[in-house]
Amino acid sequence: MKLLVVVCVLAVASTEMVMKGYPKPMTYICNFSDDLCGFHSNITKLEWTAVSDKDGRYLKTEAKGDLDKSAVAISRCYSVTNHYLCLAFRYSITGSSDNKMTIQQKGGDKSQVWSSATSSLNKGWIEEKIAVSLLPLQRKTQFVFTAFLGGKPGNSVSIDDVTLIPSTC
């Protein structure tokens, strides 16, 4: 927890703190084509990988054995100015019915947890938008993407086009 806060502060300091006063509302887009846009793990190794196929380049995690119960990917730390944000992304979930993904805002309202529906399983890419609201005076946010793979080989979760928009959805 402490380490992540430090990482968050450093990332912001190096890229965005150079702007004086209130930065302009900004849209952050990540399609994983060039890099992971700061997506990282809270353990040593990120259990998601950027893969390329006919669907382009995206971030994926897959259970290879029964120890692969869950995989966490934490977004970069976003500097924000608007109180209401929209987190848009595409995702694909394959495998058994207990496989799902949750997204939680780190440090924000802990009760805001999005969870993929069972009906999204094996349906290919699905577009989703999540309304995000911040705490008063909150100027940074970060999202935790967790894949609950259940240790069943074949279960996979993929995400792409992760976009944080400075407005309501």
DSSP label at 107?
S
Q: Which helix (H) or strand (E) segment is 131 a member of? A: strand 126-133
- 43 near ligand NAG, judged by CB under 6 A: yes
Size of the site for ligand NAG (CB under 6 A): 8
- 56 near ligand NAG, judged by CB under 6 A: yes
Whose CA is closest to 108, among 60, 68, 64, 142? 142
Return d(Cα 15, Cα 8) in angstroms, integer: 11
- 31 near ligand NAG, judged by CB under 6 A: yes
In the complex, the smallest distance separating the C-beta of residue 15 from ligand NAG, rounded to whole angstroms, is: 14
- 154 near ligand NAG, judged by CB under 6 A: no
Nearer to ligand NAG, 21 or 34 (CB): 34
Return d(Cα 145, Cα 114) in angstroms, integer: 10
- 42 near ligand NAG, judged by CB under 6 A: yes
Return d(Cα 164, Cα 11) in angstroms, integer: 17
- Candidates 144, 150, 151, 163; binder of ligand NAG (CB under 6 A) is 144
- Candidates 5, 12, 72, 88; binder of ligand NAG (CB under 6 A) is 72
Whose CA is closest to 94, among 152, 47, 18? 152
Strand partners, 128: 89
Binding residues for ligand NAG (CB under 6 A): 31, 33, 42-43, 56, 72, 144, 146
